[in-house]
């Protein structure tokens, strides 16, 4: 029986078939990331890697309709010693990297502002749907620090080096239209439809062969770090793992029988 624990700072819910909705749930403090939320997200991601159960796609959003995540909880951090700050940041680093390591797709439904670590969390997802009211920024430079959860690496890969350096070095916010034009987000939605549209896309993905989806994610992620010929070889290896699966046989059979395939992840 697949079951997840109850958390204090996040909520989880299975939506329709094979989709897990995860909600950052500290709306009273703009869904800011504190130590407890970091621990709970790390626990959740580790559990999903170890035993995904029926989950084939995750949608990550924030509680309320104004804020996705404001980044680190600066009230909690106020007065921390260097050692305390570093211990907390190491926890956040593990949580972000474990999110990246999830083998199945994660869609960020950015329902409002995504600043600093909140934007970094969204960028650790596979792609982003954003509300028309969403604004984005990496504001760390205005606080005497810099992004430390992938911001200086994921942002240039999304928008290019020159645009990323401007965003990172100024700390200025930008809106959803700029984010769409620059390639940071995939789609801009009406505010009340952001989550709904992300869930619709998650349902489309979850209806496809799950082993194929996983291999695609792996091929894109690791192939992008290789020179092109090696990446081609990596892609073919990923492809070859699918040839003898039950799902591949089912897909071809269903096509010829003119029916919808029933994929079982085998």
User: What is the residue-averaged pLDDT of the chain?
Assistant: 94
Residue range 209-225: average pLDDT? Answer: 94
pTM: 0.93
The verdict on whether 190 is a catalytic residue reads no
Residue 167 burial (CB < 10 Å; 0-12/13-18/19+)? buried
> What does the alpha-carbon distance between residue 103 and residue 216 come to, in Å, rounded to a whole number?
10
Rounded to an integer, what is the distance from CA 85 to the centroid of its chain?
Answer: 24
Give the pLDDT confidence score for residue 55 in this predicted structure: 95
Residue range 170-179: mean pLDDT, rounded: 97
CA distance 21 to 248: 28
Q: What percent of the chain has pLDDT over 70?
A: 100
Catalytic residue among 39, 40, 140, 235: 140
Burial class (CB in 10 A: 0-12, 13-18, 19+), 11: middle
Which of 59, 203, 204 lies closest to 126, judged by CA?
A: 59
Backbone angles phi, psi at 224, to 5 degrees: -65, -15
Measured CA to CA, the distance from residue 183 to residue 160 in angstroms comes to 9
pLDDT in tens, 95-143: 999 999 999 999 999 999 999 999 999 999 999 999 999 999 999 999 9
Give dist(CA 103, CA 46) in Å, integer.
11
Model confidence pLDDT, tens digit, residues 43-100: 999 999 999 999 999 999 999 989 999 999 989 888 889 999 899 999 999 999 999 9
Whether 120 sits among the annotated catalytic residues: the reply is: yes
Gap between the Cα atoms of 227 and 225, Å rounded: 7
Integer Cα distance of 39 and 76 in angstroms: 15
Is pLDDT at 1 greater than 60 in this prediction? Answer: no
Of the listed 120, 192, 227, 246, which one is catalytic?
Answer: 120
Structure token pair of residue 195: 């989550």
């Amino acid at each position: 029986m697949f079951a997840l624990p109850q958390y204090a700072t996040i909520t989880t819910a299975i939506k329709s078939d094979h989709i897990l909705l995860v909600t950052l749930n500290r709306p009273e403090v703009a869904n800011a990331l504190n130590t407890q939320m970091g621990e709970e997200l790390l626990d959740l991601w580790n559990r999903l890697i170890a035993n995904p159960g029926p989950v084939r796609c995750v949608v990550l959003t924030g509680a309320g309709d104004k804020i996705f995540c404001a980044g680190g909880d600066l009230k909690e951090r106020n007065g921390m010693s260097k050692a305390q700050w570093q211990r907390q940041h190491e926890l956040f680093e593990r949580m972000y990297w474990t999110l990246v390591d999830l083998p199945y797709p994660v869609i960020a439904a950015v329902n409002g502002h995504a600043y600093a670590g909140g934007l970094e969390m969204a960028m650790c997802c596979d792609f982003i749907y954003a509300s028309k009211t969403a604004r984005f920024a990496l504001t760390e430079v205005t606080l005497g620090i810099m992004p430390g959860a992938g911001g200086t690496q994921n942002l240039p890969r999304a928008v290019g080096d020159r645009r990323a350096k401007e965003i990172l070095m100024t700390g200025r916010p930008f809106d959803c239209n700029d984010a769409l034009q620059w390639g940071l987000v995939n789609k801009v939605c009406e505010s009340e439809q952001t989550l709904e549209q992300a869930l619709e896309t998650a349902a489309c993905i979850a209806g496809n062969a799950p082993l194929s989806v996983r291999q695609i994610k792996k091929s894109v992620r690791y192939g992008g770090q290789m020179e092109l010929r090696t990446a081609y070889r990596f892609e073919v290896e990923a492809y070859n793992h699918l040839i003898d699966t039950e799902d591949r046989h089912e897909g071809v059979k269903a096509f010829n029988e003119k029916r919808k395939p029933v994929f079982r992840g085998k």
